[in-house]
């Protein structure tokens, strides 16, 4: 499913958050929204999802103007946001239509996909942070979204769990081929996962640069090519000056 943003701007209480943002995503492409805190990355994601309709400009999904929540769009937040009183399987099926048997069968398929086939009857308090985020991923996938929006979904996890879930995300993408838009502060994550990175800067956030990431996935996290992309991104964000100043 294709996605296009044309001159999208958003203001809160007379304070601009993002200004004239335009970019597109081809069907099955993984796009990263990268920038420092406060540049409007999550604001753009909420606009794309239909959770926020107070923006100016236009957003097109498959060539049609979109300003509402779409059944074909899934959202994974920074926190799992699970219902603590429901077991895992009911967290995944929450909001689905159909018989209980149909819903459970569908949930079991995705729980197996995220490695939680044996955890369906556990409650959120019994899960580790990584397991809870896997449930959130299964819940987002159970509706078969054609666009998957991720708002720093791995930022609260330890480094090893984060890498495991990044690889899980790529496995899921390879199977289902959704168009993905990923908000992240993590440059290494962006270069490892994305086809293209949209860099935002400033307050309000404006589009600074787009970087195409070459190379088939899975990529070598320690490769010189990814290190070169990282240096380019740091320079685009003027972060290299800050790093040198602290030495």
Residue 156 buriedness (CB in 10 A; 0-12 / 13-18 / 19+): middle
Q: What is the mean pLDDT of residues 57-71?
A: 85
Q: Are 97 and 133 in contact (CB under 8 A)?
A: no
Q: Give the CATH superfamily of 1-67+179-247.
A: P-loop containing nucleotide triphosphate hydrolases (3.40.50.300)
Average pLDDT for the chain = 91
Largest CA distance in the chain: 61
pLDDT of residue 40: 92
pLDDT score of 9 more than 90: yes
Identify any residues that bridge with 179 across adjacent strands, giving them in sequence order.
147
pLDDT of residue 72: 84
Closest residue by Cα to residue 115 from 74, 161, 155: 161
User: Residues 108-161: pLDDT tens digits?
Assistant: 999 999 999 999 999 999 999 999 999 999 999 998 899 999 999 998 899 999
Q: What is the mean pLDDT of residues 200-222?
A: 93
Task: Identify the weakest region by mean pLDDT among 68-72, 175-179, 229-233.
Answer: 68-72
pLDDT score of 241 more than 50: no
Residue 222's pLDDT band (cuts 50, 70, 90): very high
Spatial distance between the Cα atoms of 186 and 184, rounded to a whole number of angstroms? 5
Q: How many CB atoms lie under 10 A from the CB of residue 173? A: 17
Closest residue by Cα to residue 65 from 38, 40, 47: 47
Query: Is there a cis peptide before residue 53, judged by omega within 30 degrees of 0?
Result: no
Q: What is the mean pLDDT of residues 239-247?
A: 45
pLDDT of residue 242: 43
Spatial distance between the Cα atoms of 140 and 129, rounded to a whole number of angstroms? 17
Q: Report phi then psi at 103, rounded to 5.
A: -65, -45
Task: Identify the weakest region by mean pLDDT among 73-87, 104-118, 228-242.
Answer: 228-242
pTM listed for this prediction: 0.91
Closest residue by Cα to residue 136 from 146, 147, 149: 149
Written as six digits, the tokens of 241 are 């000056």
Task: Identify the weakest region by mean pLDDT among 62-66, 90-94, 125-129.
Answer: 62-66
User: Residues 159-210: pLDDT tens digits?
Assistant: 999 999 999 999 999 999 999 999 999 999 999 999 999 999 999 999 999 9
pLDDT score of 245 more than 50: no
pLDDT of residue 23: 96
Written as six digits, the tokens of 195 are 């086809």
Spatial distance between the Cα atoms of 51 and 103, rounded to a whole number of angstroms? 25
pLDDT score of 240 more than 80: no
Residue 100 buriedness (CB in 10 A; 0-12 / 13-18 / 19+): exposed
Q: Are 82 and 132 in contact (CB under 8 A)?
A: yes
Pairing between β-strand 196-201 and β-strand 206-212 as defined by DSSP bridges: antiparallel
- The residue ranges of every structural domain in the chain are 1-67+179-247
Identify any residues that bridge with 150 across adjacent strands, giving them in sequence order.
76, 182
């Amino acid at each position: 499913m294709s996605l296009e943003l044309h001159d999208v701007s958003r203001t809160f209480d007379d304070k601009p958050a993002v200004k004239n943002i335009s970019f597109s995503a081809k069907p099955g492409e993984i796009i990263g929204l990268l920038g420092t805190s406060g540049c409007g990355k999550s604001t753009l994601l909420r606009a794309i999802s239909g959770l926020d309709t107070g923006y100016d400009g236009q957003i097109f999904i498959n060539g049609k103007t979109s300003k509402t929540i779409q059944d074909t769009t899934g959202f994974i937040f920074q926190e799992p946001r699970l219902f603590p009183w429901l077991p895992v399987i009911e967290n995944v099926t929450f909001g689905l239509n159909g018989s209980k048997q149909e819903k459970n069968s569908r949930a079991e398929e995705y729980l197996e996909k995220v490695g939680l086939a044996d955890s369906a009857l556990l409650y959120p308090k019994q899960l580790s942070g990584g397991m809870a985020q896997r449930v959130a991923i299964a819940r987002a996938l159970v509706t078969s979204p054609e666009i998957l929006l991720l708002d720093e979904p791995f930022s609260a996890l330890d480094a090893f769990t984060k890498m495991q879930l990044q690889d899980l995300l790529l496995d899921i993408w390879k199977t289902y081929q959704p168009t993905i838009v990923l908000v992240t502060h993590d440059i290494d994550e962006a270069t490892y996962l994305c086809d293209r990175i949209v860099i935002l800067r400033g307050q309000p956030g404006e589009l600074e640069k787009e970087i195409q990431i070459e190379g088939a996935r899975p990529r070598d996290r320690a490769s010189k090519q990814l290190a070169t992309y990282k240096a380019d991104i740091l320079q685009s964000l003027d972060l290299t000056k800050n790093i040198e100043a602290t030495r």
